[in-house]
Chains A and B, each alone.
Chain A
Amino acid sequence: MSVTASLAPAGLPQDATGSARIDHLVMLNLVEPGSRVLDVGCGDGSLLALLRDRRGVDGRGIELSREGVNACLAHGLPVIQGDADTDLAAYPDDAFDYVILSQTIQATRQPKEVLEHLLRIGQRAIVSFPNFGHWRVRSELLLRGRMPVTDTLPDPWYATPNIHHCTIRDFVGLCRLVGARIERASALDASGHPMRFALPWWVWNLVGTQGVFLLRRG
């Protein structure tokens, strides 16, 4: 596995981050100022707003829920109510510098096709997802024989929007399958902070609660 660099400067100062989510701040550091960004599954637009305000990004969003779209509209963010599985096909090649898929790929029906679209539409893709290989997840299944409920996977099995769980290792395999080059990668620990880059890959897969990847077409 060729992970070339860690994502964020270790120990991001907490007080400088305001109330922003740490995984959002990690992504913020991956995006060049002034670039064009599409955030797929953008929720209430908080990452887009952060990118606009801190990086001068020209951001767009896609969001399934009307509540999310309305929150985005109120913040002046151009967001389309739509579905990643069906709407990405309508975007032309190379339309954006970055396409972000934050905590959404596990809820798509066709993660492989979605990832291929990301790499087609954007020069780069940024993908984050809950790591199903985390030890808590593994132990819930192994020891208790139950579908895991954790901070990053908070819903019970019958109510989860997530249909395609994967581990960090699985995701790296998918990247290889679709010919994506991993430019940078990181795992976030239980408190959401980037883990030390020097740690071996299997540690990330075991103790990382989320994976964050910066990808480029192969």
Chain B
Amino acid sequence: MATPLLKPGPDSASQAVEPTSPVAHFGADEALAMDAGVDLAPWQIAYQTAGTLNEARSNAVLVCHALTGDQHVVNTHPVTGKPGWWDRLVGPGKPVDTDRYFVICANVVGSCMGTTGPASLNPATGRAYGLDFPLVTIRDMVRGQAMLLDRLGIKDLFLCIGGSMGGMQVLQWAASYPERVFAAMPIATGARHSAQNIAFHEVGRQAILADPNWHGGRYLDVGTRPAKGLGVARMGAHITYLSEPALHRKFGRRLQDRDAPTFSFDADFQIESYLRHQGITFVERFDANAYLYLTRAMDYFDLAADHGGVLANAFRGTRTRFCIMSFTSDWLFPTADSRAIVHALNAAAAPVAFVEVESDKGHDAFLLDEPAMISAAKGFIAAAARERGL
């Protein structure tokens, strides 16, 4: 007897429409021009800030969140009640020091924490967009963030930083708006999504599409949620964020609350129980359609393809200072992916630093307490601040 995944809760749905954070609204005349060929209007973007913008407006830092992240980078999450997702790196006295810098983190277009996405109301129908929402790209996310910065009166960023999908946004920022990015720090990421990563995403999407409660993407209309499908998608993805040594250290083959196997499909092993928990809690805070759209955005990302197949062309003539970081046990975005970015930046004669952090925690290492990551980030950011006169 399998433990049932959680019943749909109201929280993520309410955050999608009425987030507990500031929101910038853009009207019919301020459409977001999307790569899919659609002018999205009206639309909105939800964000959080920390710290104070200085008089010269030169100390702004944009933090870009990962696939299932959100704008709550340093503040308590409104749904889970947990501390900010990057409070190890961002905060008072941290490498991204909110006592010195003005930190902005916005929920990306296509997500479900207050920025317009498939869970938002479609003004044309009065219902949630569902699959009527246009496909989103990383470039669309970045365009949306740029419009938010314009609205906030921020001409350029001192630093653009993010991991995983957030790192893709950092790379896209540096390519799309080189003059607006003084320093860039893409972490545990790649300039394109690999075939293996697309394959994992496809498994997750198929789990959602196969859930009878998905209803062709119209589940919000009928008051159901494809919780099982989304939970399974999260369970699969979660494995890719970890590493075998980390899993072994944490769980091994230990049994959960029992001395012997039950000879059933119950969650006998601790790792099973852990994954089920991950699936259940994820469903509480995330929208299934948003998961489809954001995984697709990562799949489509290929910065070299956008520049004639030569990644270096994406950074031609850039004056942005880069610091690239990877983790030894990250098999989702292995060090080779980071090296490809470094090589392209070398070919473009860009100032680039690269650090490979020794860690057995897998892809998730960038979110965890990794002293080597934190000290390297501190060194790079502090030196960039000196150069910027901050």
Contact = CB atoms under 8 A, between A and B. Distances in A.
Interface of A: 36, 60, 66, 69-82, 87, 90-92, 95
Contact of A91 (B323, B346, B357, B384): B346
A82 B340 CA distance: 13
Contacts of A82: 339, 342, 354
Q: Is the interface of A mostly helix, strand, loop or mixed?
A: mixed
Given A60-B346, A66-B372, 15 more contacts: A66-B358, A66-B376, A70-B372, A73-B323, A73-B353, A74-B383, A76-B386, A76-B387, A78-B322, A90-B339, A90-B347, A91-B346, A91-B347, A92-B347, A95-B347
A122 B54 CA distance: 42
A72 B375 CA distance: 12
A142 B352 CA distance: 47
A-B complex: 6 closest residue pairs judged by Cβ atoms: A76-B383, A73-B379, A74-B379, A90-B343, A80-B354, A78-B351
Nearest to B372: A66
Contacts of B358: 66
Nearest to B382: A74
Nearest to A69: B355
A81 B379 contact: no
B343 to A, nearest CB: 4
Given A78-B351, A90-B343, A91-B346, A73 B380 contact: yes
Nearest to A62: B354
Nearest to A59: B351
B319 to A, nearest CB: 11
Contact of B346 (A71, A75, A95): A95
A145 B330 CA distance: 48
Contacts of A79: 353-354
Nearest to A82: B354
A78 B342 CA distance: 11
A127 to B, nearest CB: 21
Contacts of A77: 353, 383
Contacts of B378: 74
B372 A72 contact: no
Contacts of B352: 60, 78, 80
Contacts of A76: 383-384, 386-387
Contact of A69 (B321, B322, B342, B376): B376
A74 B352 CA distance: 14
B383 A90 contact: no
Contacts of A81: 354-356
Interface in B124-149: none
B349 interface: yes
A75 B323 CA distance: 13
A50 to B, nearest CB: 16
Contacts of A36: 349
8 contacts: A69-B354, A70-B372, A73-B323, A74-B379, A75-B383, A78-B352, A80-B342, A90-B347
A77 B387 CA distance: 11
Q: Which of A77, A80, A95 has the most CB of B within 10 A?
A: A80
B175 to A, nearest CB: 18
A90 B351 CA distance: 15
A30 B322 CA distance: 28
B346 A90 contact: yes
B61 to A, nearest CB: 17
A80 B323 CA distance: 9
Contacts of A91: 346-347
B351 A60 contact: yes
Contacts of A74: 378-379, 382-383
Contacts of A92: 346-347
B260 to A, nearest CB: 45
Interface in B71-103: none
Contacts of A87: 339
Interface in B334-372: 339, 342-343, 346-347, 349, 351-358, 372
A71 to B, nearest CB: 8
Given A73-B323, A73-B383, A80 B353 contact: yes
A92 B386 CA distance: 30
A69 B321 CA distance: 15
A71 B380 CA distance: 10
Contact of A70 (B321, B375, B387): B375
Given A92-B347, A95-B349, A78 B372 contact: no
A70 B379 contact: yes
B341 to A, nearest CB: 11
A70 B376 contact: yes
A77 B379 CA distance: 10
B374 to A, nearest CB: 11
A91 B342 CA distance: 10
Contacts of B380: 73
A71 B379 CA distance: 8
Nearest to B386: A76
Contacts of A90: 339, 342-343, 346-347
A72 B342 CA distance: 17
